[in-house]
Amino acid sequence: MNDKPRSTEEFLKGLWNENPVFVAVLGMCPALAVTNSAINALAMGLATTFVLVFSSLLVSLFRNIIPKQVRITAFIIIIATFVTVVDFLLAAITPVIHKELGAFIALIVVNCLILGRQEAFASKNKVGLALADGLGMSLGFTFALLCIGVIREVLGNGSLFNISLFGDNFEPWVIMILPPGGFFALGFLLLFFNWFIQRRKKQNETKTQEI
């Protein structure tokens, strides 16, 4: 019965407090490699969501059957299966995006975020909780990718989701959609997050002092 508030909690933590990219700094390859436009970032985020949610579901369902000694191998088989499926689906539905993301769809398989969630959470918790956790984490991941993608596309191309924002007078910062831009965007976002967390800590401290 008290499952409900807990699953909400597990869902929310992935979005913000334990955000996989900004706080835990996991899954960096896709976070930087394919975020040169908002639409690519979104596609990557959704593909990862699909894989993470279904892997969590299966791992949690079979958590008592999979022997401990071979669990990592079993997780990898499960994850790789879903990644292959998502690869095929994207190629069938949106060939353009599939071409842009290229090999990076297949590389979802080695995204430490996914294997990490299976090992740390899904293999130890009930299906409902595992689903909530997987969904929260992957939405947090998608949100982070989207943040980076939006910043890079707006600055680097002067557009958002391929809609031009500033007109012809804007000289795009091409560097932002090139590889260095990925490092810079994430670096500054992490900086912002650090600042935000420290500020909140200080606020909490002053609050407790007042009390």
Partner 1 sequence: MENENLIWIFISALLVNNFTLSYFLGLCPFLGVSARLETAFRLGLANIFVMIITAICSYALNTWVLPYAPYLRLISFIIVIASAVQFVEMAVKKLSPELFRALGIFLPLITTNCAILGLALFATNKGYGFVEGLVYALGAGGGVTLALVLLAGIREETRILNIPKLIEGTALNLIIAGILSMAFMGFAGLFSAG
Partner 2 sequence: MSEEKQYTDPAANFTDEKEPSSLKLIFALGIAGFLSGILLVSAYLYTLPMIEANKAAALQKAIFKVLPGCHSFQSLALIDGELMEESELGEVTGKQQKKGEAPKKIFAGFDDQGKFIGFAIPGSEPGFQDIIGAIYGYDATKNMIIGFEVLESKETPGLGDKIFKDPDFQSNFASLETEPDILAVKKGKKVNPNEVETITGATISSKAVVRLLNKSLKEWKLPVSEYLRKNNMDLTNNLKK
- Cα distances (angstroms) measured from residue 148 to each of 125, 186, 190: 32, 7, 11
Q: Given phi > 0 = left and psi -120 to 50 = alpha, else beta, which region is 102? A: left
Instruction: Report 85-104 residues binding partner 1 (CB under 8 A).
Output: 87-88, 102-103
Q: What whole-number distance in Å separates Cα of residue 173 and Cα of residue 116?
A: 36
- Comparison of 114 and 129: residue with beta carbon closer to partner 1: 114
Q: What whole-number distance in Å separates Cα of residue 185 and Cα of residue 22?
A: 12
The torsion angles phi and psi of 46, rounded to 5 degrees, stand at -70, -40
DSSP string, 85-104: HHHHHHHHH-HHHHHHHTHH
Least separation in angstroms between residue 183's CB and partner 1 is 3
Selected range binding partner 2 among 26-34, 67-75, 112-120, 125-133, rule: CB under 8 A: 67-75
Least separation in angstroms between residue 145's CB and partner 2 is 19
Least separation in angstroms between residue 76's CB and partner 1 is 6
Least separation in angstroms between residue 91's CB and partner 2 is 5
Residues binding partner 1: number (CB under 8 A): 39
Does 81 bind partner 2 (CB under 8 A)? Our answer is yes
Does 91 bind partner 2 (CB under 8 A)? Our answer is yes
- Comparison of 124 and 199: residue with beta carbon closer to partner 1: 199
- Comparison of 5 and 67: residue with beta carbon closer to partner 2: 67
Q: What whole-number distance in Å separates Cα of residue 199 and Cα of residue 43?
A: 33
